[in-house]
Homo-oligomer: A and B are copies of this chain.
Amino acid sequence: MPLFNNRKTIIHRFGFVPNLANFVILYDHMNKSVDKMKKILAILAAVMVLSAAGRTVAAQTTHRGSDDMKIGVAGYTYRSFDLDQTLRYLKSMDVKYLSVKDWWLPLNSTKEQMDAFKAKCAEYGVEGYILGPIYMRTKEQVDNTFDYAARYGAKMFIGVPNYELLDYVIEKVAKTGIKVAIHTHGPDGAAFPDIRTVVEKVKDPSLGVGCCMDLGHSFRMGWDVAKDIKKYKQWIYDVHIKDETDASKAGQTWEMGRGKMDLISIVKAFRKIKYKGVISVEFEKNGKDPHGGVAESIGYLRGILDATK
């Protein structure tokens, strides 16, 4: 019969879990009083009894590997759902970051509408951490998008400008201080297929135009994604993660852990570069009923993060 049932009781009584280091400190603090020493010895004995009995003295979770990264969801995932349902889904998975598509917050939203949007997100413990992706095909659209981001109070948004607008976008970044994470779209013919295109065209990483790296599309381009994360680390502002059925144009989004991407190496690469942004699951499969696949993917991502810390 152990003296104390569990770690919590011990902490409650003594304010810490006794070990040798605590013991030495206590020894100094207690003026070597023999009576008090006996008490300390009793505590140590109790801890030894607990250990011997195999009771779970260390099972309470402290730091998890998944605490090292911010896990989010990319808005496209819940394209068939309104904001309330989307936020319920996020809350049910304890996901705190949503990448906000404009069907929930149109580009002409007023400051008041944006405040109401943020308040609703906050009710569910969610932060609309970034706006976009937003396509910009004219100068006017570039202006509108920067205004939209400014009203939101954003320091960055996800954008996809036509190539010929890139210089104008770079100017706007310099003027407004709002960065742009260009979303990469893979081998299907859209602008900026890959992080390489961003690097080639922007050239200078200090300009505030980087990448929302879509890891699935990078994989479909045939690249070694983990290697690219390390190689282009200073260009990665935001991330869309998923799994894919094939490392080719034919590849389709799949539940994470069941496709062909080496997601373990990918999360290790993010650890290696000490990535501080959000990693958002984007699940394009089953548009009308995606939630099971999203939850499975979020679980998988947490699992591999926990197991690789």
Residues of A within 8 A of B (CB): 5-6, 54-61, 64, 66, 89, 92-94, 219, 222-225, 227-228, 231, 247-248, 255-264, 291-293, 295-304, 306-308
Contact = CB atoms under 8 A, between A and B. Distances in A.
A233 to B, nearest CB: 14
Contacts of A93: 255, 292, 296
A223 B55 contact: yes
Given A61-B260, A304-B304, 18 more contacts: A6-B222, A6-B247, A6-B248, A54-B224, A54-B228, A56-B222, A59-B247, A59-B262, A94-B258, A256-B303, A263-B306, A291-B295, A292-B295, A296-B296, A301-B303, A303-B307, A304-B307, A307-B307
Copies of this chain in its oligomeric complex:
2
B54 A264 contact: no
26 contacts: A5-B222, A6-B248, A54-B223, A54-B227, A56-B219, A56-B223, A58-B224, A59-B219, A59-B224, A59-B225, A59-B260, A64-B257, A92-B293, A93-B255, A93-B292, A94-B255, A256-B303, A296-B296, A296-B298, A299-B300, A299-B303, A300-B302, A300-B303, A303-B303, A303-B306, A304-B307
A223 B260 CA distance: 38
A200 B223 CA distance: 57
Contacts of A59: 219, 224-225, 247, 260-262
Contacts of A224: 54-59
Nearest to A66: B257
A270 to B, nearest CB: 14
A256 B302 CA distance: 9
Given A219-B56, A224-B57, A306 B257 contact: yes
B60 A247 contact: yes
Nearest to A231: B54
A219 B6 CA distance: 12
A271 to B, nearest CB: 12
Contacts of A301: 299, 303
A225 B300 contact: no
A296 B295 contact: yes
Nearest to A268: B307
Given A54-B228, A247-B59, A258-B94, A296 B293 contact: no
B5 A264 contact: no
A75 to B, nearest CB: 18
A81 to B, nearest CB: 13
A244 to B, nearest CB: 10
10 tightest CB-CB pairs across the interface, nearest first?
A303-B303, A299-B299, A307-B307, A296-B299, A299-B300, A295-B296, A295-B295, A300-B303, A303-B304, A292-B295
Nearest to A256: B299
A230 to B, nearest CB: 10
Which of A6, A248, A258, A297 gathers most chain B CB within 10 Å? A258
Contacts of A259: 61
